[in-house]
Amino acid sequence: MNRRKWLIASLVSVSTISAVFEGLYYRHGIPSTPATSALAVVLSAFLLALWIDADSKDHPQVERSFDYGYIVLIFWLPYLPYYLWRTRGAGGLFMFAGFLGLFSMGFFVQLLMYCLYYL
């Protein structure tokens, strides 16, 4: 398994585990702890920045400066749609929607649980 696939698999795993914990907290009526939420967000952003850095090596249209990884880590949110559009065209916007879905998976789990139990 190459590095890009490993990073995406790790990002999906972190998002899924975080969503499961948020769903369990919601089910039992306990507010989620800020530490677990913050850890999941920081770890997901870090894994996404590492994926962008690893993926950009295969795309010659992306100019990489010596501090490219640091810049991606700091500005990952505005840079992600631009990078995906630049490297993959219109299909990159679907990937961006997928990344947004991963980051908001905990909200969707809570919404699903609310709909199942209270409606």
Give, to the nearest 10 degrees, the angle between helix 34-56 and helix 90-103. 160
- Per-residue model confidence (pLDDT) at position 95: 96
DSSP 32: P
pLDDT above 90 for 30: no
Band of pLDDT at residue 110, cut at 50, 70 and 90: very high
Band of pLDDT at residue 88, cut at 50, 70 and 90: very high
pLDDT above 90 for 119: no
Instruction: Look up the domain containing 17 and give its range.
Output: 3-118
Q: Give percent of the chain above pLDDT 70.
A: 100
What are the tens digits of pLDDT across the range 41-70? 999 999 999 999 999 999 988 888 889 999
Q: Give percent of the chain above pLDDT 90.
A: 76
pLDDT above 90 for 10: yes
CB atoms within 10 A of CB 16: 14
- Per-residue model confidence (pLDDT) at position 85: 95
Q: What is the mean pLDDT of residues 74-93?
A: 94
How many independent structural domains does the chain possess? Answer: 1
DSSP 63: -
